Chains A and B, each alone.
Chain A
Amino acid sequence: MNKILPHCVYTFYTWAVRHRLSLFSIIALLWALAFFSFSNIKLNNSSAALLPDSSVELQRMARGMDLTPFSRLLYVDFYHPDGDLESILEALDILKSAIPSDLAVPMSQNLTIPPAQIMELLPIFFTEEAKIYATKHTQNTVIAQSVKNTFNSLSTFANNKIIPWLRIDPLNLKSIVTQNLPMALSMPTNNMVSDYTLSADKKHVLLVLQPMFSMHDTDAATKILAHIRQSKIQFPPDVHINLNGGLIHTAANSETINADIEYIVFLSFIGFAFIYLFLVRSWAGIWLLLTPCLAVGYSLGIMTGVNATLSGLALGFGAAILGIAEDYAIHIHYALQKERDTSKVIRFLTIPLFQGFLLNASGFSVLLFSSVPAIRQLATFALLSLFFGLLLALFVLPLCPRFYTSRPAALPKSNPGTPCEQEPVLWKCLLLLVVLSVSCVFVFSHSRVDVSPRSMGVELNTDEMNMKNFMKVWGQGQGDFLIIENTNVEILFKNARKIANILGDDKDNKVSTFAYFLPSQKEQEANRARWDAFILDNSSRIKNDVLIECQNLGINSVIFEPFLHILTTKSQSLSFETLRESDFAQLLDFFVLSNKNTENPIFQTMLISSQKINIAALEKELSNEPLLLEQISLISPEYLESEIRVALQAETKYIPLTLILCTLILYFCFMNFSQVFLALIPSLCAMLCILVGMYFLNSPITLGAIAALPLVLGLALDHGVLISYDLEHGVDLGVRRALLVSSLTTCMSMGLLALAVHPTLRAMGQVVFLGLVVEIPASLYILPLLCKKRRINKHEVI
């Protein structure tokens, strides 16, 4: 490899010198194609991309999270310190009219289903228990009293919403149906004001908006937030709002990131200007910027062409790899600055740069086996970026103006050689390596690791977005959700009923499910037959008793006509489809979810538990039904976090695998243990500094921090290889300066993110900054201390 590679590069170089314009045209054409491809990029913002696809349960949870209306809704809490409801309602109207209906629509919080529709379902739910209840409520004396009470209510405090109920249900039979509803939504509640929910202290009113977009849609979130803020200007005095919901988290994150990026880009620009002014000092520095941009553009073009959708997070973190792609260009740039003879640069730098690439590529290749789709995409993106970065640096950069020479010299057969060649001292390298490794393990064991999804987003604690205050007013949900899925709705509901019954054994636990509202066809038939028999035996008597009581009270029996009509109506069966077309559709959509875009939709239904669900106990209860267990997933932040932790734990097997692979490649490159150890030292120094720094900064190691690690470790490995090469061969081709510039530019771009407010950006920045702040002196000053001088053999062949 040591002989063939430089020859290949040199051969291509000599060909390219003659066809420079054609080569640049091809590069420009490819860029145009890549641009065309990535301009049609479709981002996959679903939670599923971030969870292992090997875990059926996590994928089911992700589907549930993306589909469940709870995650999509946007809550606006209106508050007036004196409880001036008129001002609140005026503000509410202003806000409602300010948001275009194609962005979000207000949701009805007072779902009222016509009483007739509910009472028509009596036969469907006429179980043996219901029959006993109905028999009790249709005794002569009970009918007389009920009719009297109903008339009393009707003549006194019944309003428009109550009158239809009193007319159709004087005997209080509706509970036979409504007890099967997940919530008592069929009756108006007392804590409403103009169809909006009023808080217990009567100072807050809740508006629920249903956005037309996914909760991850940054554009929609930003637009909705802008409209809300614009409308606030017109609010009456002293009306405040507090926003909550998935989309608000997205908007808050996007807003914080934008604010962070604004000043960080400014600081980065100043930093870059200083670096280029004092360290690069050449207009050819423009190629340093173009090379990684082209590399990332090509990668993005290919990724967009190959994948239907790309994970936004993968792309965001993958862009961090720009720093490594830039590293290759910087080394070639400085070597060409120092040595005008391109052939010498190719001879000396091809091998270490390729080895650095091989090391980074091996690390990212391992990630291709990850079970998390977003990580696999990140790995592909990084591999492509590194590959194109290396190709462009080796093959194209020397042909750019300022470095280009029309008559390249012959490729030297040996390294140029200087009298300062050094070789690493094995015991020193090994000792330091052991000390660093043990220290890393020790500090890591004391570090705080938080891989929960919530560590990735900003905390909502402003006046306008305050999660804690919102929970204080509208109640903290103490319960959990269960998502059950199946391709068949009837089986799905049967399973849901079974689980709800198990959970409902705990008397304190209130389980809300829609499953009870659609009994199986067999149950329906039995219930209807029971109802028909009951009506056949009792309808004349009941009717007669009602009419007699009306006469006794001197009232017109027309009042109870709707009820008398029910006693003569023939029962009808109920199906999922008929429910969809009825007024129950909104309720159905809330509890039964399905991805309508697919050919074979999977139906999911939600079980809302008022108490925490003990999933272990449930699993034990259903241990003889493994198939059913596979269809259940618990959606609770704690459980999700613990599952993600387990999934990430499974991913940690790739860490030793990467280390082993990198060490093997290093050994393959150097065929010398002391040099392998020497090359590893900057990475370990960086790792230790990151761990110690994060510990003292009291920052947990989050997913953001973990995502930035490959950049720092990759750069440190690159630099370890290059410096050990430089020390071994004593060729002064600007490696040290290149290392300094490469690390500083990465620090100025990614490292400055440590100043960000957004936790993910901050964590990434802290890792990059802490890692590079130690990696630079470790590579430049510690590595030479671990070597001893040796005489050079001028004819030694690389």
Chain B
Amino acid sequence: MITICVHTPAHASSSADLLQQVKKHSTHVKTMQTKFLQEKHVDFLDAPITTTGHMYFVKKENNSYSLLWEYDAPSASGIWFNNDVSWIWTQKRESLRQSKGYENTFVNTMMEQIIFWLHIDPQKIESLYQLELLGTHSIKLIPKRKEMFQSITVTFHTDLKGLETLVLEEKDNSTRLSFFETKYNTPMLRTFIDGTPLP
């Protein structure tokens, strides 16, 4: 009973409060691996375009990040975000190349968003967005400045260590990311953590 009381986060009374709690609980997260389901709703299709994959995240000692975002289905492709540089590959990892042009726009924004939520800074979030508390673990953010996303809805895991869902709304489409089977601070098998080429 005592253990449950200690490890169950208190309910947030405001969005600022929720963010503070997430910061508190996610501080000690150094690595994370999770599976994800991505659903892309576009205005010209009735059903969403669905993709699945997995993500590996490492907070490095020099305060930089490494993030591997891989799609498994319907076709294989991946994004590796390391030291603010994005690399992408399609079909085979051997085809890894630095992202360019229009790819950068979305890849960088998306990766920055994910890192943003894995290494939370309540003060910065409040300066950038208008916040609306949607539930005990959920928060809606509307950018104060015009940017790619019109709104972002974040739902945290009940342990408040990381994300459960992330909905990124654009003008005519939206992307919903659901994370599951999330593991924290487990040893990373991938060599990408050290910045060495992907296997």
A interface, CB within 8 angstroms of B:
86, 89, 93, 148-149, 152-163, 165, 167, 187-190, 192, 194-195, 553-556, 558-559, 561
In contact, A157 and B107 (Cβ under 8 angstroms): yes
Q: Which B residue sits closest to A154, measured CB to CB? A: B49
- B90, B100, B102, B107: the one contacting A161 at CB < 8 Å is B102
In contact, B44 and A167 (Cβ under 8 angstroms): yes
CB-CB contacts below 8 Å: B53-77 with A: 71, 74-75, 77
Q: Is the interface of B mostly helix, strand, loop or mixed?
A: mixed
In contact, A558 and B44 (Cβ under 8 angstroms): yes
Given contacts A189-B101, A553-B74, contact A86 B173 (CB under 8 A): no
Q: Complex Cα distance A478/B148, Å?
A: 34
Q: What 5 pairs between A and B have smallest CB-CB spacing?
A: A190-B104, A157-B106, A155-B49, A159-B106, A160-B170
- A93, A148, A163, A188: the one contacting B75 at CB < 8 Å is A148
| B27 in contact (CB, < 8 A) | no
B118 to chain A, nearest CB (A): 19
In contact, A163 and B145 (Cβ under 8 angstroms): no
B interface, CB within 8 angstroms of A:
38, 40, 42, 44-45, 47, 49-51, 71, 74-75, 77, 79, 88, 90, 100-110, 124, 127-128, 145-148, 170-173
16 A-B contact pairs sorted by A residue (CB < 8 Å)? A86-B124, A149-B90, A154-B42, A155-B49, A156-B77, A157-B88, A157-B106, A160-B148, A161-B105, A187-B102, A190-B100, A190-B104, A194-B146, A553-B74, A556-B45, A558-B44
Give 19 new A-B contacts, CB below 8 A, not counting A187-B102, A194-B145: A86-B128, A154-B40, A154-B42, A156-B38, A156-B71, A156-B77, A157-B110, A158-B106, A159-B105, A159-B170, A160-B171, A160-B172, A161-B105, A162-B106, A163-B173, A192-B105, A555-B49, A558-B44, A561-B44
Given contacts A155-B49, A156-B77, A558-B45, contact A89 B105 (CB under 8 A): no
- B51, B148, B172: the one contacting A156 at CB < 8 Å is B51
B87 to chain A, nearest CB (A): 12
B112 to chain A, nearest CB (A): 11
Q: Complex Cα distance A187/B101, Å?
A: 8
Set of chain A residues within 8 Å of B44, measured between Cβ atoms: 167, 558-559, 561
B136 to chain A, nearest CB (A): 29
Q: Which B residue sits closest to A187, measured CB to CB? A: B102
In contact, A190 and B105 (Cβ under 8 angstroms): yes
Set of chain B residues within 8 Å of A559, measured between Cβ atoms: 44-45
Q: Complex Cα distance A156/B79, Å?
A: 10
B122 to chain A, nearest CB (A): 15
In contact, A152 and B105 (Cβ under 8 angstroms): no
Q: Complex Cα distance A187/B103, Å?
A: 11
Set of chain A residues within 8 Å of B90, measured between Cβ atoms: 149, 152
Q: Complex Cα distance A152/B74, Å?
A: 8
Q: Which B residue sits closest to A93, measured CB to CB? A: B145
Q: Complex Cα distance A155/B102, Å?
A: 15
Set of chain A residues within 8 Å of B104, measured between Cβ atoms: 190
Q: Complex Cα distance A684/B44, Å?
A: 86
Given contacts A156-B51, A156-B77, contact A188 B105 (CB under 8 A): yes
Set of chain B residues within 8 Å of A558, measured between Cβ atoms: 44-45
A183 to chain B, nearest CB (A): 14
Q: Complex Cα distance A187/B172, Å?
A: 19
Q: Which B residue sits closest to A160, measured CB to CB? A: B170
Q: Complex Cα distance A187/B102, Å?
A: 7
A259 to chain B, nearest CB (A): 38
Q: Complex Cα distance A373/B34, Å?
A: 76
Set of chain A residues within 8 Å of B75, measured between Cβ atoms: 148, 152
Q: Which A residue sits closest to B79, measured CB to CB? A: A157
- A86, A93, A157, A555: the one contacting B127 at CB < 8 Å is A86
B74 to chain A, nearest CB (A): 7
Set of chain A residues within 8 Å of B51, measured between Cβ atoms: 155-156
B111 to chain A, nearest CB (A): 10
Q: Which A residue sits closest to B53, measured CB to CB? A: A156
Of A89, A160, A554, which is in contact with the most chain B CB atoms at under 10 Å from its CB?
Answer: A160
Set of chain B residues within 8 Å of A156, measured between Cβ atoms: 38, 51, 71, 77
